């Protein structure tokens, strides 16, 4: 037999880690839509979740390296764990920038970036649950990459606004730069999800 009950437990660990990714995206969406007084608590939740995800990723790595017969290539599973963890780290970095800059209301381009990133996270958790059978995953990585492209387009629109002075309002250049920094970090999140999708594709192609 290719898999033993012990081997397949790694899929449960991966699914749990993916659940932290989805939760992190939800918390970030709530944080960016909250007022200044509520942002601190939500940012703290993301920081805590980042630590939980780190522990979950380490559990996957330990499981893979201590199992005599691994369900997939050990290196692929380790990379998968790191890519999922990278997504949570990137989400937490957005929150850290928001708190550091004290950015206020976000323009439409950033709001759209947030929605697209959240959709990437929503697609990720069920995709990781399907990894056990390596089936029905093509639509996942195709859509995640399409969403990453859309985040990039929104980011370009944001940059255009910044350089035209469209975000300066009453001349507050620092606010515009803070918004740009948030947009930059959201683009990094989208790219982390895109990198994850490529790892999933690589596994699926090898194991199909």
pTM: 0.90
Position 12 pLDDT exceeds 50: yes
Residue 93 near residue 185 (C-beta atoms within 8 A): yes
Q: CB of 132 within 8 A of CB of 208?
A: no
CATH number reported for the structural domain that contains residue 193 in this entry: 1.20.58.220
**Percent of the chain at pLDDT above 90?**
64
Per-residue pLDDT averaged across 183-192, rounded?
A: 97
Q: How many domains does the chain have?
A: 1
Report the distance separating Cα 121 and Cα 144, nearest Å. 9
Q: Which helix (H) or strand (E) holds 34?
A: none
**Measured between alpha carbons, how far is 176 from 37 in angstroms, rounded to an integer?**
21
Q: Which domain holds residue 161?
A: 5-207
> Taking residues 14-25, what's their average pLDDT?
96
Which residues in the chain belong to E strands, given as ranges? none
Q: How far does Cα 130 stand from its chain's mean position?
A: 18
CB atoms within 10 A of CB 14: 24
- Closest alpha carbon to 117 in 16, 208, 28: 28
Question: Per residue in 22-49, pLDDT tens?
Answer: 999 999 999 998 887 889 999 999 999 9
Alpha helix locations (H) across the chain?
A: 5-33, 36-66, 74-101, 108-130, 138-164, 173-207
Under a CB-based contact definition with an 8 Å cutoff, are residues 57 and 17 in contact? yes
Express each pLDDT in 40-92 by its tens digit.
999 999 999 999 999 999 999 998 888 756 778 889 999 999 999 999 999 99
d(CA 123, CA 140): 7
């Amino acid at each position: 037999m290719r898999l033993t009950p012990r081997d397949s437990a790694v899929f449960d660990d991966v699914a749990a880690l993916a659940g932290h990714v989805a939760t992190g995206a939800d918390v970030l969406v709530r944080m960016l839509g909250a007022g200044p007084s509520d942002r601190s608590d939500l940012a703290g939740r993301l920081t805590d979740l980042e630590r939980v995800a780190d522990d979950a990723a380490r559990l996957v790595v330990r499981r893979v390296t201590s199992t005599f017969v691994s369900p997939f290539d050990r290196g692929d599973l380790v990379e998968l764990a790191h890519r999922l963890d990278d997504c949570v780290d990137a989400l937490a970095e957005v929150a850290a920038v928001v708190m550091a800059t004290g950015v206020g209301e976000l323009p439409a381009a950033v709001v759209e970036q947030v929605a697209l990133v959240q959709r990437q996270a929503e697609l990720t958790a069920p995709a990781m649950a399907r990894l056990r059978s390596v089936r029905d995953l093509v639509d996942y990585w195709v859509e995640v990459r399409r969403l990453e492209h859309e985040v990039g387009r929104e980011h370009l629109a944001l940059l255009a606004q910044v350089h035209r002075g469209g975000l300066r309002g009453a001349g507050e250049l620092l606010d515009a730069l803070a918004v740009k920094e948030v947009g930059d970090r959201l683009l990094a999140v989208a790219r982390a999800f895109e990198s994850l999708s490529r790892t999933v594709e690589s596994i699926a192609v090898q194991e199909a």
